Chains A and B, each alone.
Chain A
Amino acid sequence: GNSVTQMEGPVTLSEEAFLTINCTYTATGYPSLFWYVQYPGEGLQLLLKATKADDKGSNKGFEATYRKETTSFHLEKGSVQVSDSAVYFCALSRSGGSYIPTFGRGTSLIVHP
């Protein structure tokens, strides 16, 4: 079945550091890939997505490229801010009529001034 594996956190960085959060997946068919972000005390919200191989999703300075050959969708940002402190979830869509995305367990990011 489908699965998503994320690097365990927390990831702790200083402000302006480079961020990478790894995400790999197992899936049948041609899923879309997503990154959701959860700020403290809030629900998840979509950060970016890519719907086919080699697509790059981007938003708020974050980027991720859909790599079918390595089954990966790593999240990157060139210069993190304190306000980026949150939990990040990688997810993939599921085909077959279920409309139920598969989520990774989430990676906590802590950015220090």
Chain B
Amino acid sequence: DAGITQSPRHKVTETGTPVTLRCHQTENHRYMYWYRQDPGHGLRLIHYSYGVKDTDKGEVSDGYSVSRSKTEDFLLTLESATSSQTSVYFCATYTGTETTGELFFGEGSRLTVL
């Protein structure tokens, strides 16, 4: 258990409103990730971070931004939510070597955009 907490766990919002999801970890892991999970698509990487203030885009980054001002916190922001961003969002951290390490996942945040 890597001590990953996501908040909020559930959120319903309106199209066009901003939304921020928070991921907090207690293990001091350097690498953190945001994924979305949708039926038929599996897991898709949105953004990741390799250190404080160091972030990069994943495969589905359009419409999302991230920030990491402290090692333990990684924020995902939807500037103007759309219905296509209705999904379950997972935060993860990475520990170990580049080729043998593993991911630890939070319990997910279910977002519904009406």
- Residues of A that sit less than 8 Å from B by CB: 30-32, 34, 36, 41-46, 49, 51, 89, 93, 95, 97-101, 103-106
Contact = CB atoms under 8 A, between A and B. Distances in A.
A43 B109 CA distance: 10
B42 A46 contact: no
Interface of B: 4, 31, 33, 40-43, 45, 48, 50, 58, 90, 92, 94, 98-108
Nearest to B59: A100
Contact of B100 (A41, A43, A93, A103): A93
A36 B94 CA distance: 14
Given A103-B43, A105-B42, A106-B42, A51 B107 contact: no
A30 B100 contact: no
B99 A31 contact: yes
A98 B100 CA distance: 13
Chain A contact surface mostly: loop
Which of A51, A97, A100 has the most B CB atoms < 10 Å from its CB?
A100
Which of B41, B92, B105, B106 has the most A CB atoms < 10 Å from its CB?
B105
A25 B107 CA distance: 27
Contacts of B103: 36, 44, 46, 101
B101 A99 contact: yes
Contact of A93 (B40, B90, B99, B106): B99
16 contacts: A32-B100, A34-B102, A42-B107, A42-B108, A43-B4, A43-B105, A44-B92, A44-B103, A49-B100, A51-B99, A51-B100, A95-B99, A99-B101, A101-B103, A106-B42, A106-B43
B7 to A, nearest CB: 14
A109 B101 CA distance: 26
Which of B90, B103, B105 has the most A CB atoms < 10 Å from its CB?
B103
